[in-house]
Structure 1
Amino acid sequence: MSIPGLGQLPIKANTSTVRQTTTLYPYWEWRFEVSHSDSLSVRITSGIADRDGTELALNKWYRFTGTRSKISTARGCTLEFEGACDRQRVVELTPESSASNLYMNLHFLLDRLRHEARNGRSLATGPRLMVVGPDSVGKSTLARTLTAYAVKAGFQPIVVNTSPREGMLPLPGTLTAATFATMMNIESEGTGAWAGTPTSGPAEVQPKLPLVFFYGHEHATDDLQLYKDVASRLAGAVTSRMSEDKDAKPAGLIIDTPGVSLEGDAGSKELDLVQHIVEEFSVNMLLVLGSQSVEDTLKKKFHGEKTSLGDVINVVGLEKPDGVVTNDPAWLLACQHAAIKEYFYGDSKTSLSAPKQMVDFDAVTIFRVPEPTGTSNEYRTLERIEPSPALTHWTMPVMDAKMNESHEAIRTATVHGFVYIADVNKDRRKISVLGPASGRDPQKPLLLGSWPEQYINLVG
């Protein structure tokens, strides 16, 4: 896509509290970046605008922190903003160059397929689409936008996140699925963020309660066999839900995926990963974003192929939207820390007080996620580890299993919640644990992975 012109050059380190006004004409976008240590307030004073498909209410202030995003308009609007903004600019687009316009047209196609499934004219379920492409091309934004459009049209799609690097609703290091039946949180943080982590506090937007499985590594290809095992478990649970839920079945699936280039040494593993997700979730539409080479490879791979439900697998290529920001490692780490902090203490609008409790060494069972062994199907047992000061500042999932169950049952169980290890006193044999609720079941084991990484000090 090409940008006809820029209405405003980037402004860096704008920490002025003076309120500013910007006018957007049809199909224009206002792009902004706010660091995790600052906040920016925005409101629409006239016209209609949305953030990734979710419409902003008129004359309502929205507060953003730790966010790289955009506000789009198809009819024009006027917005006001005040606070600290690292970078902001107006981008003048046309209907032909607007990604929002392209995504809306794509939604109309999906909407027709959903209505056909709902009205019984289709033997299969609703569309099961999967967004594929390299890192930092806007995959999560596309998935989020199509989800928002589907919800607004009265459908309840199941959204699946298969990228362990960035969490959807829960913390990173997990594969998740959730039914979206209500609007998404406009103020959610991060890049391509969904709706913040589930909390027990009050909220304007109904919280989404995801189905969560723990993988424990940053990249899907770090341990491909373990990743495929976890993805299969998630797919089984999602497929079962769709078969039983009359609202979810016609709405179908929207699957966000890890970044893949299908090139170099990791190319064969990435292709294996994509094929596994397509097979397990019976994907019938692959949206390839921002890569002609990935599109060509997948068209060749799935040419003439059909899903387990009998429909043809279609591969559709989309150009990378202009203005997509590359997520550098420092930003991703800041997003990870912000997600951990929000899980235990809430966000700027919902303040939580996570209780701290002392637990005896003997009352806790901790297993380490097994180390990668290539692509072998050989089962690997979990390694039970003794509590030590080295575990301080790690965030671990509480598995929905009993500690005397088999290692396989523990490893593939759903996640009950997360705890943060605030301190380990080896002399007293006590662990100081921070959890979202008091009274953690000592019969539920903890898992230690390599991702998410240690938080510097959540309680300091």
Structure 2
Amino acid sequence: MDVNLPKVEYDLQAHSELRFEVEVNEPIQLELLEGTAEIYGSELVKGCVYKFYRGRKVAVFTAKETPMVLYVNVHAGLEQMRDQAAEQKSRGPRIMLAGPTDVGKSTICKMLVSWAARLKRTPILVDLDVGQPDLSIPGTIGASVIETPVDIEEGYNLSGPLIFHFGHITPQNNIDLYKVLISRLAEAVSMRAQNIEQTNYSGVVINTCGWVRDGGYRSIVHAAGAFEVDVVVVLDQERLYSELLRDMPEFVKVIMLQKSGGVVERTRTVRETTRDKKIYEYFYGTREQALYPHTFEVQWSSVKFFKIGGPDLPESMLPVGITLADNKTKVVSVTPSRNLMYHVCSVSTANTEKEIIQSNAAGFVVITQIDINKESVTLLSPSPGPLPFPYLLVMEDVKYNDELRSAIYKK
């Protein structure tokens, strides 16, 4: 239902950027009156009224601000590389965005793939940010071919994204598994690109997490090698730029760009709320496009619960021939108990236990009830039962209490 909201005119051409977050129940309406402007690379239509509901963060840009000009120049350089790839029947450019948290990496990725899609390109977007992912729920990494610009109101229009289970909201909790999954995803992305000529020419845009020190830095270097990147863009950190300039091969171009002046630092509470909202929308959709999940009971005998990664042990206590890395990437059986309440689980497409790490997720469920006497669990699922696969991978750091949070987002 439309509501009559007070009108506020904002001279975007003078300020170059407008950012806002919807914190009220009523939608915020946005209309471009004069000039030109974009949201994440998608151009606003003059006179069209856009609505943004609670929880949405929006950034409206013109191309007059200096960082925006630099971002457009990066896009122009990628386009030249794509044209060259098409002429030579070779692989298109692969660019990776790196930098600490809250410098605008995800925003620039959206811009780059949207600008490419507006020119009929079909790049692959790779998201390695397990804490604040755009392609799936927290605790995962993934990739998707982007065929259309990011929708101004809805965000990415994804078709068959490839998602892998990690199970934590920071790579620090299992850096060995994180690097294994990066390599597996890189292999899958290369295979998909090779099978689609236009996508191969269009290249890959990679978003990374905000952990850039110690193991986080090593994971960035690992990702650059696994995806065989051509360009690394560092946002707003001289030290990271110097380190990557030192450690990247000579054929990899490392450039540094300043972050947009409108980027703001998110609090821990905001990050937690964003993660909860991402899970809620996976099951229930948005105000504009509602979804209706299902709840059903599953006997323990028909499913198997696992987690990836053994307990933290000193190397001297590990079995002979087992390294610390092996221990953190092994598949561990989980006995059903009340401790699993509210944990999010990935439904693995693996056919055997040995294939679990190498297999992608078919979808996600939440354990909402556990009946010890009946030896059953009740699952919240986006589709009706039975489960298409029997292996459920427990996310150790990702929980969702549907009763509490659905009441918040339905307001």
Q: Could you tell me which residue of structure 1 aligns to residue 96 of structure 2?
A: 130
Residue 16 of structure 1: CA displacement? 9.3
CA contact (8 A) 1:36 1:338 kept: no
Amino acid of the structure 2 residue aligned with 1:242: A
2:281 is aligned with 1:298:
no
Structure 2 counterparts to residues 35-434 of structure 1, below 5 A? 35=23, 39-64=27-52, 65-74=54-63, 95=64, 97-120=65-88, 124-188=90-154, 194-195=155-156, 206-262=157-213, 267=214, 269-302=215-248, 305=249, 312-371=251-310, 373=312, 376-379=324-327, 380-402=329-351, 405-406=352-353, 408-434=354-380
Residue 456 of structure 1: CA displacement? 5.8
Pair 252,373 (structure 1): closer, same or farther in 2 beyond 3 Å: farther
How big is the alpha-carbon RMSD for the aligned residues of Structure 1 and Structure 2?
2.3
CA distance in 2, matches of 1:432, 1:61: 42
Unaligned runs of 5+ in 2: 314-322
Structure having the higher helix fraction is 2
CA distance in 2, matches of 1:182, 1:442: 30
Residue 425 of structure 1: CA displacement? 1.9
Amino acid of the structure 2 residue aligned with 1:397: S
* Deviation readout 1:247-295 (Å, 9 max, x if unpaired): 1111111000011333xxxx2x223211210111001110000001110
Q: The residue matched to 2:9 in structure 1 has which SS?
A: strand
* Deviation readout 1:34-75 (Å, 9 max, x if unpaired): 23756322122343221011112333332223133321134x
CA contact (8 A) 1:168 1:176 kept: no
* Deviation readout 1:129-166 (Å, 9 max, x if unpaired): 10011111111111111111111122111010111111
CA contact (8 A) 1:424 1:431 kept: yes
Residue 450 of structure 1: CA displacement? 2.2
What TM-score, normalized to structure 2? 0.89
Residue identity (%): 27
CA distance in 2, matches of 1:437, 1:319: 44
Residue 27 of structure 1: CA displacement? 6.6
Q: Could you tell me which residue of structure 2 aligns to residue 198 of structure 1?
A: none
Larger CA deviation: 385-394 vs 408-417: 385-394
Residue 372 of structure 1: CA displacement? 6.2
Pair 26,127 (structure 1): closer, same or farther in 2 beyond 3 Å: farther
Residue 373 of structure 1: CA displacement? 4.8
Structure 2 counterparts to residues 434-445 of structure 1, below 5 A? 434-441=380-387, 443-445=389-391
Q: The residue matched to 1:105 in structure 2 has which SS?
A: helix
Q: Could you tell me which residue of structure 1 aligns to residue 320 of structure 2?
A: none
CA distance in 2, matches of 1:410, 1:100: 42
Pair 36,371 (structure 1): closer, same or farther in 2 beyond 3 Å: farther
CA distance in 2, matches of 1:240, 1:23: 47
Pair 38,113 (structure 1): closer, same or farther in 2 beyond 3 Å: same
Amino acid of the structure 1 residue aligned with 2:171: A
What TM-score, normalized to structure 1? 0.80
Pair 395,378 (structure 1): closer, same or farther in 2 beyond 3 Å: closer
Residue 381 of structure 1: CA displacement? 3.2
Q: The residue matched to 1:451 in structure 2 has which SS?
A: strand
CA contact (8 A) 1:139 1:289 kept: yes
Pair 126,26 (structure 1): closer, same or farther in 2 beyond 3 Å: farther
Q: The residue matched to 1:248 in structure 2 has which SS?
A: helix
CA contact (8 A) 2:96 2:208 kept: yes
Q: The residue matched to 1:207 in structure 2 has which SS?
A: coil
Q: How many aligned residue pairs are there?
A: 393
Larger CA deviation: 437-446 vs 408-417: 437-446
* Deviation readout 1:414-455 (Å, 9 max, x if unpaired): 000011212112223232211111123364211112232343
CA contact (8 A) 1:363 1:442 kept: no
CA contact (8 A) 1:31 1:71 kept: yes
Unaligned runs of 5+ in 1: 1-14, 75-94, 189-193, 196-205, 307-311
Pair 425,277 (structure 1): closer, same or farther in 2 beyond 3 Å: same
